[in-house]
């Protein structure tokens, strides 16, 4: 493996309460470490206040952590112990802000050209080259020909692209994106997400992406770091995160999960038999279980299939449909089994009527078992 593009080690930051700086609660990061390989897009995912933005701002140099080390390539840009603290202007990275931070007093061209214009005179590119590069990057983000337009006259999506263009114009080693899509409406967000992925892939720019939107994270990321309360709860590929959450928080935060406390009844080969408060269930997705252990069973709604009770074969559980919501591509049901509500999702062609009894089938290989403590790795 090559040298990581970014290494973050043991980052900590506490905002003492009462300084008035932390607007909603205490944004703290607590021993955060990870690295990012060249070309990778790593997403920091978590609820608001989990420390993901503080981490990103610490990487950018906009926030000074209390301890830890940050290296970009083989250059240490922050090291609390040695007192190394490079300013944001000395780190050679780019950032797309949540608010886009488009300078309203400049036109589109000047916004994009700014990073090229502020480099020290000796290293500054000739005027014509700056013009060409700006034009090229504007075309990349499909803003070609809009250079002379006032930045504030752009639509939301265009402003977003402009912010991206400004970040890309320097060919940065590292691109930081702080919830770049959160100010767009749903439709635009979807298409920008694909667009962003295309651009990131085609340029191969190493990126760190902060979001609270799990859909975005799953769609875009090479790897995802799920954060909560200043800590990384799980770091892995989207598939790992989604299919094999290592703790209850991740399971709950990514997608919708039915989480049931259970006790291990027996382990036979790769099949574990567990008893839950709504009945027994088998799982093929587990590790390190001992009989009698208290565990959590995690079942995704789409892994529960519903059928009429009069069908054949023995069902795992029998329940009653109490609510259903037609979502177009699927139907969400709430089914009570022994008084406990489970979320189930089925294709739109299937139907279960409210107040009817249904049988619930669950593939044991889709039943994920966590140790009850649910700590991170």
Partner 1 sequence: MTTTHPNKPPTGQAVAGTGQTDRSGRRGGDRLRTVVYVLTGLVVLYLVGAPLLFLMWGTFFDADGVTLDSFRRAFGSAEAAEMVGNSLMFAFGAGVVSLVTGTTLAYLYARTDVPFKSVFFAASLVPLILPPVVYAPAWVFLFSEDVGAISGPLTQIFGASPVNAYGMTGMIAVEGLHLAPIVFLFMVAAFRSMDPSLEEAGKVCGARWSAVARRITLPLVKPALASATVIVIVLGLESFEVPVMLGEPAGLYVFTSRIYFLTNDFPADLGAAGALSVALMAVAALLLAVTGGGRSGREHQTVTGKAFRPAPVSLGRARVWVGSVVAFYFVVAVIAPVLVLIYVALSPYYQAPSIEAFSALGFSNFEKLAELPGLGSALVNTVLLAVVSATLVMLVTVVASSFVVRTRLPGRRILDWIALAPLMVPGVVLGLGLSFVYLRFPFPVYGTVILLAIAYVTRFIPYGMRYAGASMAQVSNELEEAARIGGARWATTMRRVLLPLTAPGVLSGWIFVLMITFRELSSTVLLAGPDSEVLSVILFRQYNEGTFGIVAALGVLMAVALLTIILLANRLGSRFGIRVEA
Please give the residue ranges that form the binding site for partner 1 (CB under 8 A): 20-21, 23-24, 53, 57, 60-64, 87-89, 91-95, 97-105, 114-115, 118-119, 152, 156, 159, 166, 170, 176, 178-179, 183
> Nearer to partner 1 by C-beta: 209 or 317?
209
Q: In this structure, what token pair is assigned to residue 351? A: 């139907």
Contact by Cβ (8 Å): 61, 78? yes
> Nearer to partner 1 by C-beta: 146 or 330?
146
Contact by Cβ (8 Å): 219, 193? yes
**Residue 140: CB minimum distance to partner 1, A:** 18
Q: In this structure, what token pair is assigned to residue 223? A: 């790897």
Contact by Cβ (8 Å): 82, 69? no
> Nearer to partner 1 by C-beta: 71 or 94?
94
> Nearer to partner 1 by C-beta: 42 or 93?
93
Considering only CA atoms, which of 66, 64, 83, 86 is closest in space to residue 75? 86
**Residue 55: CB minimum distance to partner 1, A:** 13
**Residue 138: CB minimum distance to partner 1, A:** 16
**Residue 15: CB minimum distance to partner 1, A:** 10
**Residue 176: CB minimum distance to partner 1, A:** 8
> Nearer to partner 1 by C-beta: 21 or 139?
21
**Residue 223: CB minimum distance to partner 1, A:** 23
**Residue 234: CB minimum distance to partner 1, A:** 24
Distance of CA 55 to the CA centre of its chain: 14
């Amino acid at each position: 493996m090559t040298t990581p593009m970014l290494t973050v080690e043991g980052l900590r930051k506490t905002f003492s309460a009462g300084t008035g700086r932390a607007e909603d609660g205490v944004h703290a990061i607590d021993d955060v470490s990870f690295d990012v390989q060249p070309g990778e897009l790593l997403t920091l995912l978590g609820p608001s206040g989990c420390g993901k933005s503080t981490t990103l701002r610490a990487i950018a140099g906009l926030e000074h952590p209390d301890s830890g080390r940050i290296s970009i390539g083989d250059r240490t840009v922050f090291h609390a112990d040695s007192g190394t603290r490079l300013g944001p202007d000395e780190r050679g990275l780019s950032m797309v802000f949540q608010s886009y931070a488009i300078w309203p007093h400049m036109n589109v061209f000047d916004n994009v050209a700014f990073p090229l214009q502020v480099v020290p005179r000796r290293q500054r590119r000739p005027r014509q080259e700056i013009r060409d590069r700006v034009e090229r990057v504007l075309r990349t983000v499909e803003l070609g020909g809009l250079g002379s337009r006032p930045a504030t006259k752009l639509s939301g999506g265009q402003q977003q692209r402009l912010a991206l263009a400004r970040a890309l114009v320097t060919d940065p080693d590292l691109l930081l994106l702080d919830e770049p899509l959160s100010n767009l409406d749903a439709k635009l967000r979807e298409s920008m997400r694909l667009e962003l992925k295309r651009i990131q892939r085609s340029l191969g720019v190493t990126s760190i992406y902060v979001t609270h939107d799990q859909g975005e994270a799953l769609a875009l990321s090479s790897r995802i770091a799920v954060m909560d309360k200043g800590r990384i709860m799980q770091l892995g590929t989207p598939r790992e995160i989604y299919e094999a959450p290592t703790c209850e928080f991740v399971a709950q935060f990514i997608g919708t999960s039915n989480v049931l406390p259970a006790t291990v009844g027996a382990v036979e080969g790769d099949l574990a038999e567990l008893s839950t408060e709504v009945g027994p269930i088998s799982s093929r997705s587990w590790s390190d279980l001992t009989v009698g252990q208290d565990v959590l069973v995690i079942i995704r709604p789409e892994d529960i299939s519903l059928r009429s009770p009069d069908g054949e074969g023995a069902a795992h559980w029998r329940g009653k449909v109490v609510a259903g919501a037609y979502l177009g591509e699927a139907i969400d049901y709430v089914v009570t089994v022994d008084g406990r509500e489970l979320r189930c999702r089925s294709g739109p062609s299937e139907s279960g009527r409210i107040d009817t009894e249904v049988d619930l089938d669950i593939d044991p290989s889709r039943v994920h078992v966590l140790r009850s403590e649910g700590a991170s790795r």
